[in-house]
Structure 1
Amino acid sequence: MKKYLITILTISLLMNYNGIAQSRGIRIGYIDMEYILEKVPSYAEAKNQLDQKAEKWKQEIETKKSDINKLKEALKTERVLLTKELIEEREEEIAFQENELLQYTQKRFGPNGDLIVQKTVLIKPIQDQVFNAVQDIAEAKKYDYIFDKSSDLTMLFAAKKHDISDKVVNVLTRAEKREQMSKKQQRLEEEKERKQELIDDNPELSERQKKSEERKAARLQMIEDKKLAAEEKRKEAEENRKKLLEEKNAKKNGTVSDKSNSETSGGTSTVKGTETTPTVDKKAEAEAAKKKSQEDRQKQIEDRKKAAEEKRQKAISDREAAKKAREEAKSKP
């Protein structure tokens, strides 16, 4: 009966504010308290401890039941051998233990038992946090009504877009994280949260944000490619300079002359006093090494460009799929 009264009252409120809804638009949201509690780490840990206690109580009850059954079986077996007074004494003992078992069961699992009381004590602080978070979200997002899906209110249908349970969970988890953060980390986290909320509330902004990130990634990739090419060029120039310096020192010390004289059969050296110029073979090798280095560098650049293009195409494909999913969700009644 209470459930129906709440439903009728809700419908009456919505009908009374129908005129306001036409002029301003009433914002209605809902939460699922059971879902939120499952997502809160502190509640899950405390609930696990309570479940362990309940399991221990159940084992104690089963042990008492087993003892009582043993007494009953013993009485049944020995009844023909016992006097009337002993039988009555045994039956009184069994009745007494059964009564104790019933009282213990009520104490642990009754309507006002330890399990219900401790669950209430456990859930109360979390509920207070949820209510505070809901109020903050309602004030910030201009909600007129926020209902609890897991309460006595009967919700025949509720669109997922009106579910703010995840927002409440985010508020609670962020509050726990802030307790372990420095002031600078808290400011950065708050700025990140503010930007994310803007994106969540404005799908078009989300699309622009994605495009901006893609352009930024492409620019960073281009800069990285240029840096790589410049680094390769610098290394090549350094190697050439080092090689020329070694050849110059060799000429100065006269070490190239003897070697070139022993290889005059190739006819590729030009002798001037005791100094010789590098052979054609060495020049060809240097040119080949330079060409190979350029080809390797060009291949690396092409590979990076190919990877960047694949990443960009994948991002475009994912964005189109998400857009199509949203359109399909909107088109559903």
Structure 2
Amino acid sequence: MYKVFSNVVILALIFNFAPAQKATAQKFGHFDSEFVLNKMPDYAEKQKEIEALAGTYDKEVRSLYDELEKMRAELRASEVLLTPEMKKDREKAIQDKQGEALKKYTELFGYDGLYYKKIDELVLPLRNKVNQAVEVVARRYGLDYLFDKAESIGMIYTNQVHDYTEFILEELGLKQEQGN
């Protein structure tokens, strides 16, 4: 009798908690934002513009550092001929030029520099568009979490069954070619 009673209690517990487990199950998926962005025609144009800007900014900064190196070489070459006061003046000019170069580099490539502001200006609207499509796809497929495998979140392995990149491309109106 005790054995039957214990089996009934165990079955009651299983049936009682089974719906709760099903309700708390979470659905995961992943997609590749870089792949999606590379499928967007505007993205390639924006990338070219950003690369051209980076080249221009790099030339500006590099020219300042080249001038600085030239000033240092001239000081080394004529150091023995200079008076201590002249040497001190040239060292001060070198320090000023180094400060100018660093300031220019920070202004262009620093955390809040013009380069990164331009990236935000050009690419952020496209990323926002992708994020909106991601949200639509996640809601449509009842996903609790949708990870971006292009970001560095440590996804070592992903099962293709859970890849929602195609659905995001579809949501954005970008047809996926066969063979990819």
Q: Give the whole-Å Cα distance in 2 for the aligned partners of 1:49 and 1:138.
A: 32
CA contact (8 A) 2:29 2:143 kept: yes
Partner of 1:20: 22
Distance 1:147 1:97, change over 3 A: same
Partner of 2:40: 40
The Cα of 1:136 is off from its aligned counterpart by 2.1
Q: Give the whole-Å Cα distance in 2 for the aligned partners of 1:30 and 1:116.
A: 27
Distance 1:74 1:18, change over 3 A: farther
Q: Give the whole-Å Cα distance in 2 for the aligned partners of 1:31 and 1:18.
A: 29
Q: Which of 79-88 and 89-98 deviates more?
A: 79-88
Q: Give the whole-Å Cα distance in 2 for the aligned partners of 1:168 and 1:21.
A: 26
Q: Give the whole-Å Cα distance in 2 for the aligned partners of 1:144 and 1:87.
A: 67
Partner of 1:114: 114
- Segments of 5+ residues of structure 2 without an aligned counterpart are 1-18, 176-180
The Cα of 1:48 is off from its aligned counterpart by 1.2
The Cα of 1:54 is off from its aligned counterpart by 0.6
CA contact (8 A) 1:30 1:165 kept: yes
Q: Give the whole-Å Cα distance in 1 for the aligned partners of 2:36 and 2:74.
A: 52
Partner of 1:158: 158
Partner of 2:30: 30
Give the SS at the match of 2:172.
helix
Code of the aligned partner of 1:71? M
1:91 correspondence with 2:70:
no
Q: Which aligned pairs between 1:67-86 and structure 2 lie closer than 5 A?
A: 67-86=67-86
Q: Give the whole-Å Cα distance in 1 for the aligned partners of 2:52 and 2:72.
A: 31
CA contact (8 A) 2:46 2:123 kept: no
Code of the aligned partner of 1:113? G
Partner of 2:142: 142
TM-score by length of 1: 0.43
| Structure 1 segments (4+ residues) deviating >6 Å | none
- The CA RMSD measured in Å over matched residues stands at 2.5
TM-score by length of 2: 0.74
Q: Give the whole-Å Cα distance in 2 for the aligned partners of 1:120 and 1:161.
A: 33
More helix by share: 1
- Segments of 5+ residues of structure 1 without an aligned counterpart are 1-16, 175-192, 194-333
Partner of 1:60: 60
Distance 1:156 1:72, change over 3 A: closer
The Cα of 1:79 is off from its aligned counterpart by 2.0
The Cα of 1:26 is off from its aligned counterpart by 5.1
Q: Give the whole-Å Cα distance in 2 for the aligned partners of 1:160 and 1:131.
A: 20
Q: Give the whole-Å Cα distance in 2 for the aligned partners of 1:64 and 1:153.
A: 38
Q: Give the whole-Å Cα distance in 2 for the aligned partners of 1:86 and 1:97.
A: 16
Give the SS at the match of 1:143.
coil
Partner of 2:6: none
Distance 1:76 1:145, change over 3 A: closer
The Cα of 1:96 is off from its aligned counterpart by 0.4
Q: Give the whole-Å Cα distance in 1 for the aligned partners of 2:144 and 2:86.
A: 73
Q: Deviations over 1:110-156 (max 9, x none)?
A: 22222222222333212221122122223333334322223454334
Q: Give the whole-Å Cα distance in 2 for the aligned partners of 1:58 and 1:28.
A: 42
Q: Give the whole-Å Cα distance in 2 for the aligned partners of 1:157 and 1:21.
A: 27
Give the SS at the match of 1:154.
coil
Code of the aligned partner of 1:73? A
CA contact (8 A) 1:40 1:173 kept: no
Distance 1:93 1:137, change over 3 A: same
Higher relative contact order (CA 8 A, sep 6+): 2
